[in-house]
Structure 1
Amino acid sequence: MVGTGPATGTTAGALRRLLWGRGVSALGDGMWFTIWALYLTGIVGISAGTVGIGMAVAAAFGLAAAVPLGALADRHDPRRVLVVIAVVRTAAMAGYLLVDGVWSFLVVTVAFVALANGGSAVRTALVAALVRDNRARVRELARQRVAQHVGYAAGAGLGAAVLAVDRPVGYTVAIAANAVTFAVFAVVTATVPGRRVHGPTRPVRANVRAAVGDLPYVGVTAAVALLSLCWAMLSTGLPLWISQSTRLPLVLSGIVVVISSVGIAAGQVPATRLARTPAAATRTAVCSGVALAVSCLLLASTSGGAGPVAVTVVVVAALAHLAGELGYVASSWALSLGLAREQALGAYQGLAEAATATVQIFGPALFTLAVGGHGTVGWLVVAAIFLLAASLLPTLVRRALRNRPADV
């Protein structure tokens, strides 16, 4: 890989604009993810089952599109590809105001949701095109994640206000405002200097084949993606556990989310120092899997619990989860970038996004079945999954390094 010194003023300015643009679009995301279910079922009148099927169909399209969209960023200017994606998602979000039935809902949802994973891959490719050094790339992605979380939190607060009012006009204003945030992101991205990923471009199909056919990379990506179960652990597993298997107040689940959000904002950038090379990232990912498994075991120990002792155990489990999540995210960036073919970087990032998205699709169901259905045993099963992923990674990364393409 070709490294560079400190970012130039032009590059630093471009990265700052991307950072602010990401924060603004995340504000819209947080608002939308808070209100979409009630808007579609309560205001538009689509059944919950139909909404679920539509989201699943859109997610399937997103999985199929992630690698080709990333490959487009390799073939063309990633900035232009990202602007087009943002414009389409702007139109799709505005289109929710016109949804009046199942088919219009499906068209708009596919256009909006299916481009999310590919958009993340293209954004990573754009950062990689602006910053040549992998360490600096990972650090910049961490800064963007912090901006994303701040935006999500602010947007969720606005969405909660919309739900409190629960009037059609409130939902209309919120959706229109969300469309504006995506438009702002498109405009901001358009001001970033156009850059191409280093090296001669190749046909999109060739880059897709390069990424999908790199089996050692696929193996690493799959193992790392299993650690992303940590997100469904907080959103699904913990609330189910507290409500069904303990005598603790359900508000404790919300407190844990706050602890996680604050910890991510404070710790994600420093955590990148633990993943500066593929070898360091592997060690960090292994430690993350262990920390997440410990968090599961601590939560399992609170079965039937109540009072200060059980609350303390849950908080300690939340801190172990936070450490695991910070390390997982930092190591996932370092490995997905550090083991990829530079000429097909976008396609490789699309593959990594698709793997993570696949786990996220099944994550809530896993926790519902394991923790909601089997209690303590469910936590042991999830802990075993985290430990399995951690134990496989060293061998998989060594194999990927041995098979590393010559142009990396």
Structure 2
Amino acid sequence: MTSPRPDPDPIEASKPGLIGRLRASLSDPVLRALVTATAVSRIGRGVFFAVTVLFFTQIIGLSPAQAAVVLAVSSGCGVIASFLGGWLADRWSARRLAFGFEVCGGLLLASYAFVGDFVSALVLASLSGFFDSLGYSSRSAIIARGFASERRVHARAVLRTVTNLSIAAGSGLGAVALALGTPEAYRTVIAVAGILGALGSLPLLRLTSAVDAPARTPVTGQLTPTGSIDTEAATAALAERRDWSRRSPWRDPRYLLLSVLSAVFGMQFGVAEFGVPLWITQNTNAPEVMVAVLLIVNTTLVVLFQVRASRGTHDLATAGRVTMVAGWLMVAACLIYALAAGLPAWAAIVILIAGMIAHTFAEILSQAGAWGLSFELADPVRAGAYQGVFGMGFSLGALASPIVVNATAITFGLAGWAMLAAIFLAAAIGIWAIARRAATSAAASAPTTATA
């Protein structure tokens, strides 16, 4: 493990307001490099998110079903890459891997500008999703090793705030193509988005080797000064390698269960991105523009509150409690959304905004709790693999969420929303139970450790 990074200057940290808090956070060189890289690359992603579906359907000429297949396959490739990225980051330089993956992802994104049919779109989407997830897992390994325990969740919160701001800015650039509506405009902004994504990887080169995994002792090549094989050193290296293998996240049932439950709760992103827009257009009298309004509400609240809501969630008990609160807020959000059906337009608008506010705070708190638990319950020796498994769980949740949301809320209305609420509450209770038990075990072992 590396030495913890210094905390921001307390005077600077006490400055009020979002800008003051972010400026204080950037006194850390690791976080500064990650924020710079994220800000640039996510602007590119924001452009892409804004124009993707319409580019596929209106410019390339794909059917909605074909566009859905392209996006689903891209998500599926991301599931595999999430674990692979962390696994690789335990064996090679995480900063160099992240840089290489981000460059490849950006160039693949720019290549969308030359897509002309379903097959080429499918291939590029698969590769782009694969490298984007590889880069994300490598960055997670950097965060796990580059910060002290109490600073990791804060770093995640800052990066998520910057991500939302950058995606919003990128969406504004994407609106230029939407307004012009020409193939040339679409292809130009997509090429620009890809180039920004590739350029966003450059600040990662400023990171030092302190964020990389410690080098493992090779089993072979252990020689004495006389040139003979040092059997004792070779045996020690082999024992180290076996211990390293035993620390695999796949042998940690508690962490695997945490990853599964977090993936289930992570389906709340699918509710916002897939379920709510369909619910508004098919089951309420609210205007379709409410989809954009709710997105603005969500983004604004995340930017304003994610960092402060994440304070203290490196503590296991605190992480469990905020997740439980998030579970009840998600229950409230599901039921509030359901109430919007059949109401007059003005009432539906008020109800939907109230639902999104509850939903967004559930998102903010659940993310804070998930980050804290994913870092604190991981074995630091295999930080990359553990973060890869956790990221893979979220990718699986994202892949399954449209199917689950459609099979519940969209199909059965109020009863379906109640089913979703029960699913989220059950996941939150499970995560809370894991956190509580882990906190109790840690507290019980603390006196023994101190005595020793």
Query: TM-score scaled to structure 1, two decimals?
Result: 0.90
Matches within 5 A, 1:5-404: 6-7=6-7, 12-131=28-147, 133-197=148-212, 199=214, 201=216, 210-306=248-344, 308-398=346-436
Judge conservation of contact 1:67–1:350 (CA < 8 Å) in 2.
Answer: yes
Q: Distance in 1 between matches of 2:194 and 2:270?
A: 27
Q: How many percent identity over aligned positions?
A: 27
Q: Distance in 2 between matches of 1:179 and 1:274?
A: 36
Greater shift after overlay, 379-388 or 98-107?
Answer: 98-107
Q: Structure 1 residues 105, 250: CA separation in 2 closer, same or farther (over 3 Å shift)? A: closer
1:4 and 2:4 correspond: yes
Give the partner amino acid of 2:263: A
Alpha-carbon distance, 1:216 to partner: 0.9
Q: Structure 1 residues 58, 313: CA separation in 2 closer, same or farther (over 3 Å shift)? A: closer
Deviation readout 1:112-137 (Å, 9 max, x if unpaired)? 11122232221121122321x12211
Deviation readout 1:222-272 (Å, 9 max, x if unpaired)? 112222222122222222222332223333332222111111000000011
Deviation readout 1:77-101 (Å, 9 max, x if unpaired)? 2100101101211221232233344
Alpha-carbon distance, 1:307 to partner: 5.3
Structure 2 residues without counterparts, runs of 5 or longer: 10-25, 217-239, 446-452
Q: Distance in 2 between matches of 1:46 and 1:243?
A: 22
Structure number with bigger Rg: 2
Q: Structure 1 residues 293, 38: CA separation in 2 closer, same or farther (over 3 Å shift)? A: same
Judge conservation of contact 1:20–1:147 (CA < 8 Å) in 2.
Answer: no
The 3-state SS of whatever aligns with 2:208 is coil
Q: Structure 1 residues 99, 236: CA separation in 2 closer, same or farther (over 3 Å shift)? A: closer
Q: Distance in 2 between matches of 1:394 and 1:300?
A: 26
Deviation readout 1:182-229 (Å, 9 max, x if unpaired)? 221121111222324565548799669712221110101111222222
Give the partner amino acid of 2:83: V
Structure 1 residues without counterparts, runs of 5 or longer: none
Q: Cα RMSD between the aligned structures?
A: 2.8
Query: TM-score scaled to structure 2, two decimals?
Result: 0.82
Give the partner amino acid of 1:167: T
Q: Structure 1 residues 92, 394: CA separation in 2 closer, same or farther (over 3 Å shift)? A: same
Q: Distance in 2 between matches of 1:306 and 1:207?
A: 60
Alpha-carbon distance, 1:7 to partner: 4.3
Q: Distance in 2 between matches of 1:241 and 1:168?
A: 31
Deviation readout 1:296-334 (Å, 9 max, x if unpaired)? 112223331125554433332222112111101111110
Cross-structure match for 2:12: none
Give the partner amino acid of 2:159: Q
Q: Distance in 1 between matches of 2:336 and 2:380?
A: 41
> Higher RCO, 1 or 2 (CA under 8 Å, sep at least 6)?
1
